Amino acid sequence: MKISIINEALNGLLVLQPEAFEDERGFFIEAYRKDQFAEFGINEEFVQDNHSRSSKGVLRGLHFQWEPPMGKVMRVTQGEAFLVAVDIRKGSPTLGQWYGETVSAANKKMVWAPAGFARGFCTLSDFAEIQYKCSGLYSNKAESGILWNDPAIGINWPIEHPQLSEKDKVAQTLSEWLKTENSNNFKYAR
């Protein structure tokens, strides 16, 4: 079965669409194929899978990790969510730009954002389950976040009053992040 690129954005971010075999019993997709991902330039070794469930109106993010750097393929397996990625790579021509995509269990889209992107999502349905395929193991000593409503980024979230964690309420701005020594780990490679 084929996985296709349906959108390319922000120097490395891809929206992927797996081919689905559907009949009266349900459906089958190949959500990951190493050979097809390599054709798209995604050669990372995926070392961790995460699965989260959030209620309607929950916003998580914008999260990232610098050591080890972590790219993520995100997909929604139940419900619907608005997935966002922000380029935080120094020297990138799309630094500070964001991309958002409504992804659902029904449309089966996936969003790949390489290391150097902050990621987040908000839940649009009564609940949503999101699965992440990660290219780095989680490290609480080398992870951080960007403020979800940083005016310098200007994400157009499709909800007005999100439910946030305490950590996400006080995250740094992109400008604050770029002044840190750790931000040098995300220099853009041409």
pLDDT in tens, 27-53: 898 899 999 999 999 999 999 999 999
Start-to-end Cα distance in the chain: 32
The catalytic residue among 32, 51, 63, 188 is 63
Structure confidence by residue, pLDDT tens digits, 163-178: 999 999 999 999 999 9
Rounded mean pLDDT of the chain? 94
Contact call for residues 77 and 131 (beta carbons, < 8 A): yes
Fold of 3-21+28-180: Jelly Rolls (2.60.120)
Spell out the domain ranges in the chain.
3-21+28-180
pLDDT of residue 188: 66
Q: Which residues contact 13 (CB under 8 A, 6 or more apart)?
A: 85, 87, 99, 111, 112, 113, 114, 117
Neighbours of 82 (CB within 10 A): 21
Distance of CA 65 to the CA centre of its chain: 12
pLDDT at 187: 67
What pLDDT score was predicted for residue 159? 95
| pLDDT tens-digit map of 113-166 | 999 999 999 999 999 999 999 999 999 999 999 999 999 999 999 999 999 999
Percent of the chain surpassing pLDDT 90: 85
- For residue 123, CA distances in Å to 7, 11, 27 come to 22, 26, 23
Let me know if 63 is a catalytic residue.
Answer: yes
Give the Cα separation of 97 and 178 in Å (integer): 14
Residue 189 has pLDDT above 70, yes or no: no
Catalytic residue among 32, 99, 132, 161: 132
